[in-house]
């Protein structure tokens, strides 16, 4: 993980008046180092290697904080978490999820977001959690299935 990413997160917390505690930083770093989405209990296992007293509420509080700050997206369909690729913008994301290898790619397409909001408004619906998850195959899995 790059120190620049961690410094960015610290700056955002400072600007928001939020406490970026050592546990929150550590969970952030675990997610930054991950290749895809990570489940809460996998994160807890990693945290317990550093802090043997860490319990499930510890990890869930840290994850709630990271989501609130815009650093992390919850991948509902996997019951897992992924670091936001451009959290400084605090946006609504679309996630492309590979059903073969589990890789998660975040995109931020304003056209998709606007179209969804327009359709919801026309239906008299207010969207509270606008993250969209699309399942399929990533480029690597598509390429490996060709051979």
Does the pLDDT value for residue 146 go beyond 80? no
Q: Which residue has the higher pLDDT, 79 or 146?
A: 79
Q: Is the pLDDT of residue 124 over 90?
A: yes
Q: Please say if the pLDDT value at position 64 is more than 70.
A: yes
Q: Which residue has the higher pLDDT, 63 or 143?
A: 63
Q: Is residue 90 predicted with pLDDT exceeding 60?
A: no
Indicate the burial class of 32 (C-beta count within 10 angstroms; 0-12, 13-18, 19 or more). Answer: middle
Report, as an integer, the average pLDDT of 66-70. 93
Q: Looking at residue 85, what is its pLDDT?
A: 74
Maximum C-alpha span of the chain: 52
**Cα dihedral 26→13→67→46 (10° resolution):** 0
Tokens 């969970």 belong to 27
């Amino acid at each position: 993980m790059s120190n620049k990413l961690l410094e960015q997160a610290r700056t955002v917390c400072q600007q928001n008046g939020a406490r970026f505690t050592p546990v929150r930083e550590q969970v952030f770093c675990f997610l930054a180092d991950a290749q895809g989405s990570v489940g809460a209990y996998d994160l807890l296992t990693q945290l317990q290697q550093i802090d043997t007293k860490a319990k499930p509420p510890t990890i869930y509080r840290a994850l709630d904080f990271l989501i609130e700050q815009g650093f992390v997206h919850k991948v509902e369909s996997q019951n897992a978490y992924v670091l936001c690729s451009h959290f400084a913008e605090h946006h609504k994301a679309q996630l492309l999820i590979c059903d073969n290898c589990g890789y998660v790619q975040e995109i931020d397409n304003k056209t998709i977001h606007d179209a969804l909001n327009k359709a919801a408004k026309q239906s008299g619906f207010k969207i509270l959690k606008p993250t969209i998850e699309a399942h399929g195959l990533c480029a690597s899995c598509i390429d490996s299935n060709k051979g």
